[in-house]
Structure 1
Amino acid sequence: MNTEWFWLAVGFLGQALFSARFLVQWLASERARRSIVPKAFWFFSLAGGVTLLAYALYRRDPVFIAGQGAGLLIYGRNLMLIRRETRLSRARQ
Protein backbone atom coordinates (compact mmCIF):
# COMPACT_ATOMS: atom_id res chain seq x y z
CA MET A 1 0.00 0.00 0.00
CA ASN A 2 1.29 3.44 -0.90
CA THR A 3 1.95 5.34 2.35
CA GLU A 4 1.11 8.70 0.80
CA TRP A 5 -2.34 7.50 -0.32
CA PHE A 6 -2.99 6.01 3.11
CA TRP A 7 -2.26 9.29 4.88
CA LEU A 8 -4.25 11.24 2.34
CA ALA A 9 -7.20 8.95 3.13
CA VAL A 10 -6.63 9.49 6.88
CA GLY A 11 -6.65 13.25 6.32
CA PHE A 12 -9.89 13.16 4.34
CA LEU A 13 -11.50 10.82 6.90
CA GLY A 14 -10.56 13.19 9.70
CA GLN A 15 -11.94 16.15 7.79
CA ALA A 16 -15.19 14.26 7.08
CA LEU A 17 -15.60 13.36 10.76
CA PHE A 18 -14.80 16.90 11.82
CA SER A 19 -17.26 18.35 9.29
CA ALA A 20 -20.00 15.88 10.27
CA ARG A 21 -20.23 17.57 13.66
CA PHE A 22 -21.76 20.65 12.04
CA LEU A 23 -24.39 18.54 10.30
CA VAL A 24 -25.20 16.82 13.61
CA GLN A 25 -25.50 20.18 15.39
CA TRP A 26 -27.63 21.71 12.66
CA LEU A 27 -30.06 18.76 12.54
CA ALA A 28 -30.39 18.66 16.34
CA SER A 29 -31.08 22.40 16.43
CA GLU A 30 -33.68 22.12 13.68
CA ARG A 31 -35.47 19.32 15.55
CA ALA A 32 -35.44 21.29 18.79
CA ARG A 33 -36.28 24.57 17.03
CA ARG A 34 -33.49 26.24 19.04
CA SER A 35 -29.74 26.23 18.92
CA ILE A 36 -28.30 23.28 20.82
CA VAL A 37 -25.02 21.38 20.86
CA PRO A 38 -25.65 17.63 21.23
CA LYS A 39 -23.15 15.25 22.82
CA ALA A 40 -22.54 13.69 19.38
CA PHE A 41 -21.08 17.04 18.26
CA TRP A 42 -18.28 16.66 20.80
CA PHE A 43 -17.68 12.99 19.92
CA PHE A 44 -17.35 13.88 16.22
CA SER A 45 -15.08 16.78 17.22
CA LEU A 46 -12.88 14.42 19.22
CA ALA A 47 -12.78 11.69 16.55
CA GLY A 48 -12.10 14.16 13.75
CA GLY A 49 -9.53 16.01 15.85
CA VAL A 50 -7.59 12.86 16.72
CA THR A 51 -7.62 11.69 13.11
CA LEU A 52 -6.57 15.11 11.81
CA LEU A 53 -3.85 15.33 14.47
CA ALA A 54 -2.45 11.99 13.28
CA TYR A 55 -2.44 13.35 9.73
CA ALA A 56 -0.80 16.61 10.87
CA LEU A 57 1.88 14.67 12.73
CA TYR A 58 2.57 12.63 9.61
CA ARG A 59 2.83 15.86 7.60
CA ARG A 60 4.96 17.43 10.35
CA ASP A 61 2.89 20.60 10.14
CA PRO A 62 3.42 22.54 13.40
CA VAL A 63 0.53 24.95 12.78
CA PHE A 64 -1.92 22.12 12.11
CA ILE A 65 -0.55 20.11 15.06
CA ALA A 66 -0.97 23.04 17.47
CA GLY A 67 -4.50 23.76 16.27
CA GLN A 68 -5.73 20.18 16.48
CA GLY A 69 -3.93 19.51 19.77
CA ALA A 70 -5.51 22.53 21.46
CA GLY A 71 -8.93 21.61 20.10
CA LEU A 72 -8.68 18.10 21.56
CA LEU A 73 -8.34 19.58 25.04
CA ILE A 74 -11.52 21.60 24.56
CA TYR A 75 -13.53 18.69 23.12
CA GLY A 76 -12.39 16.36 25.88
CA ARG A 77 -13.20 18.91 28.56
CA ASN A 78 -16.70 19.45 27.18
CA LEU A 79 -17.33 15.70 27.24
CA MET A 80 -16.10 15.57 30.86
CA LEU A 81 -18.47 18.40 31.81
CA ILE A 82 -21.39 16.66 30.09
CA ARG A 83 -20.57 13.41 31.89
CA ARG A 84 -20.43 15.18 35.26
CA GLU A 85 -23.72 16.97 34.61
CA THR A 86 -25.38 13.68 33.63
CA ARG A 87 -24.16 11.97 36.81
CA LEU A 88 -25.33 14.86 39.01
CA SER A 89 -28.69 14.88 37.26
CA ARG A 90 -29.14 11.14 37.88
CA ALA A 91 -28.13 11.51 41.53
CA ARG A 92 -30.83 14.15 42.07
CA GLN A 93 -33.58 11.86 40.79
Structure 2
Amino acid sequence: MTTIFRSESAYRPLTHALKKSPVDRGFFLSRRSSGYHCDSSASYGFPDDTISSTTWQAMKSSEGFLEPYLNHLAPWLYTDSVIWTIVGLSGGFLFSSRFVLQWLHSERSGRLVVPALFWHISFWGSLLSLIYALHLDKLPIILSYFFLPALYARNLWLLKRGKEVDKEVSRVQ
Protein backbone atom coordinates (compact mmCIF):
# COMPACT_ATOMS: atom_id res chain seq x y z
CA MET A 1 0.00 0.00 0.00
CA THR A 2 1.34 3.43 -0.92
CA THR A 3 0.15 6.64 0.73
CA ILE A 4 0.91 9.94 -0.97
CA PHE A 5 1.29 13.16 1.01
CA ARG A 6 1.12 16.31 -1.11
CA SER A 7 2.96 18.55 1.33
CA GLU A 8 5.95 18.29 3.59
CA SER A 9 3.82 19.40 6.55
CA ALA A 10 1.84 16.17 6.31
CA TYR A 11 4.97 14.10 5.77
CA ARG A 12 7.20 15.39 8.60
CA PRO A 13 4.86 14.48 11.52
CA LEU A 14 4.80 10.91 10.23
CA THR A 15 8.59 10.64 10.30
CA HIS A 16 8.75 12.13 13.77
CA ALA A 17 6.00 9.78 14.98
CA LEU A 18 7.99 6.77 13.87
CA LYS A 19 10.93 7.88 16.07
CA LYS A 20 13.18 5.30 14.46
CA SER A 21 14.09 5.00 10.84
CA PRO A 22 11.05 4.24 8.65
CA VAL A 23 12.84 1.06 7.55
CA ASP A 24 12.68 -0.28 11.15
CA ARG A 25 8.90 -0.05 11.15
CA GLY A 26 8.41 -1.59 7.71
CA PHE A 27 7.80 1.74 5.98
CA PHE A 28 9.79 3.34 3.24
CA LEU A 29 9.33 7.11 2.94
CA SER A 30 10.50 8.96 -0.14
CA ARG A 31 10.23 12.38 -1.78
CA ARG A 32 8.96 12.30 -5.33
CA SER A 33 7.67 14.92 -7.73
CA SER A 34 4.09 13.78 -7.10
CA GLY A 35 4.41 14.18 -3.33
CA TYR A 36 5.81 12.36 -0.31
CA HIS A 37 5.30 8.61 -0.45
CA CYS A 38 4.92 6.16 2.41
CA ASP A 39 5.17 2.59 1.11
CA SER A 40 4.31 0.04 3.81
CA SER A 41 4.59 -2.95 1.49
CA ALA A 42 8.30 -2.42 0.86
CA SER A 43 10.81 -4.62 2.58
CA TYR A 44 14.44 -3.60 2.54
CA GLY A 45 17.17 -5.85 3.88
CA PHE A 46 20.84 -5.36 4.41
CA PRO A 47 23.04 -6.15 1.40
CA ASP A 48 25.68 -7.80 3.56
CA ASP A 49 27.07 -7.81 7.07
CA THR A 50 29.91 -5.38 6.30
CA ILE A 51 27.63 -2.33 6.39
CA SER A 52 26.23 -1.42 9.79
CA SER A 53 22.48 -1.17 10.11
CA THR A 54 22.70 2.53 11.00
CA THR A 55 24.76 3.35 7.91
CA TRP A 56 22.47 1.27 5.71
CA GLN A 57 19.38 2.97 7.11
CA ALA A 58 20.93 6.41 6.59
CA MET A 59 21.72 5.53 2.99
CA LYS A 60 18.23 4.11 2.32
CA SER A 61 16.16 6.71 4.16
CA SER A 62 14.42 9.52 2.35
CA GLU A 63 16.32 12.07 4.42
CA GLY A 64 19.52 11.45 2.47
CA PHE A 65 23.09 10.70 3.37
CA LEU A 66 24.40 14.14 4.44
CA GLU A 67 21.14 15.91 5.30
CA PRO A 68 21.19 14.93 8.99
CA TYR A 69 24.64 16.54 9.31
CA LEU A 70 24.27 19.58 7.04
CA ASN A 71 20.61 20.56 7.38
CA HIS A 72 21.21 22.74 10.46
CA LEU A 73 24.17 24.47 8.74
CA ALA A 74 22.58 24.96 5.31
CA PRO A 75 18.82 24.30 5.34
CA TRP A 76 18.51 26.02 1.94
CA LEU A 77 20.52 23.14 0.46
CA TYR A 78 17.63 20.71 0.99
CA THR A 79 14.65 22.78 -0.09
CA ASP A 80 13.02 21.92 -3.39
CA SER A 81 13.00 24.79 -5.86
CA VAL A 82 13.21 25.60 -9.55
CA ILE A 83 16.52 27.29 -8.75
CA TRP A 84 18.05 23.87 -8.01
CA THR A 85 16.96 22.63 -11.43
CA ILE A 86 18.64 25.67 -12.99
CA VAL A 87 21.83 25.05 -10.96
CA GLY A 88 21.92 21.39 -12.04
CA LEU A 89 21.29 22.17 -15.70
CA SER A 90 23.86 24.99 -15.67
CA GLY A 91 26.52 22.73 -14.17
CA GLY A 92 25.83 19.99 -16.70
CA PHE A 93 25.78 22.45 -19.59
CA LEU A 94 29.04 24.12 -18.56
CA PHE A 95 30.78 20.83 -17.91
CA SER A 96 29.69 19.42 -21.29
CA SER A 97 30.32 22.59 -23.29
CA ARG A 98 34.03 22.47 -22.51
CA PHE A 99 34.43 19.65 -25.02
CA VAL A 100 32.65 21.62 -27.73
CA LEU A 101 34.97 24.54 -27.00
CA GLN A 102 38.04 22.30 -27.20
CA TRP A 103 36.80 20.71 -30.43
CA LEU A 104 36.20 24.11 -32.07
CA HIS A 105 39.66 25.38 -31.07
CA SER A 106 41.29 22.19 -32.36
CA GLU A 107 39.42 22.39 -35.67
CA ARG A 108 40.38 26.03 -36.09
CA SER A 109 44.09 25.38 -35.53
CA GLY A 110 44.23 22.02 -37.34
CA ARG A 111 45.82 20.23 -34.35
CA LEU A 112 44.87 19.18 -30.85
CA VAL A 113 44.54 22.29 -28.65
CA VAL A 114 43.32 22.63 -25.08
CA PRO A 115 42.60 26.33 -24.52
CA ALA A 116 42.86 27.97 -21.10
CA LEU A 117 39.11 28.58 -21.13
CA PHE A 118 38.64 24.80 -21.12
CA TRP A 119 40.01 24.63 -17.57
CA HIS A 120 37.91 27.58 -16.37
CA ILE A 121 34.74 26.00 -17.73
CA SER A 122 35.77 22.63 -16.25
CA PHE A 123 36.23 24.18 -12.81
CA TRP A 124 32.95 26.12 -12.72
CA GLY A 125 30.93 23.31 -14.31
CA SER A 126 32.24 20.74 -11.83
CA LEU A 127 31.68 23.12 -8.90
CA LEU A 128 28.04 23.73 -9.88
CA SER A 129 27.57 20.01 -10.44
CA LEU A 130 29.04 19.25 -6.99
CA ILE A 131 26.71 21.76 -5.33
CA TYR A 132 23.76 20.19 -7.14
CA ALA A 133 24.96 16.71 -6.10
CA LEU A 134 25.02 17.90 -2.47
CA HIS A 135 21.44 19.07 -2.94
CA LEU A 136 20.42 15.66 -4.31
CA ASP A 137 22.25 14.07 -1.37
CA LYS A 138 23.08 10.83 -3.15
CA LEU A 139 26.50 9.44 -2.26
CA PRO A 140 27.50 8.07 -5.70
CA ILE A 141 26.76 11.40 -7.38
CA ILE A 142 28.57 13.39 -4.67
CA LEU A 143 31.65 11.18 -4.96
CA SER A 144 31.59 11.56 -8.76
CA TYR A 145 32.10 15.32 -8.48
CA PHE A 146 33.85 15.62 -5.10
CA PHE A 147 37.49 15.87 -6.25
CA LEU A 148 36.98 17.48 -9.66
CA PRO A 149 36.91 21.16 -8.59
CA ALA A 150 40.20 20.68 -6.70
CA LEU A 151 41.83 19.03 -9.73
CA TYR A 152 40.68 21.76 -12.10
CA ALA A 153 41.71 24.49 -9.63
CA ARG A 154 45.19 22.93 -9.58
CA ASN A 155 45.29 23.01 -13.39
CA LEU A 156 44.27 26.68 -13.35
CA TRP A 157 47.02 27.42 -10.82
CA LEU A 158 49.58 25.61 -13.00
CA LEU A 159 48.33 27.53 -16.03
CA LYS A 160 48.72 30.85 -14.20
CA ARG A 161 52.18 29.88 -12.94
CA GLY A 162 53.19 28.87 -16.48
CA LYS A 163 52.12 32.27 -17.83
CA GLU A 164 54.12 34.04 -15.12
CA VAL A 165 57.21 32.00 -16.00
CA ASP A 166 56.73 32.79 -19.70
CA LYS A 167 56.52 36.54 -18.91
CA GLU A 168 59.66 36.37 -16.82
CA VAL A 169 61.56 34.47 -19.52
CA SER A 170 60.51 36.97 -22.21
CA ARG A 171 61.51 39.86 -19.92
CA VAL A 172 64.99 38.36 -19.41
CA GLN A 173 65.50 37.89 -23.16
TM-score (norm 2): 0.51
- Aligned residue for 1:92, secondary structure, equals helix
- 1:17 equivalent in alignment to 2:94: yes
Distance 1:86 1:15 in 2: 29
Higher relative contact order (CA 8 A, sep 6+): 1
Greater share of strand: 2
1:37 aligns with 2:114: yes
**Structure 1 unpaired stretches of 5+:** none
Task: Establish whether residue 85 from structure 1 lines up as the match of residue 162 from structure 2.
Answer: yes
**5+ residue gaps, structure 2:** 1-78
TM-score for the superposition, normalised by structure 1: 0.91
Aligned to 2:74: none
User: How large is the RMSD of aligned CA atoms in angstroms?
Assistant: 1.3
The one-letter code sitting in structure 2 at the alignment partner of 1:55 is: Y
More helix by share: 1
1:48 matched to 2:125: yes
2:106 maps to amino acid: S
* Identity of matched residues, %: 36
The corresponding residue for 2:81 is 4
How many residue pairs match? The answer is 92
Query: Deviation at 1:89?
Result: 0.3
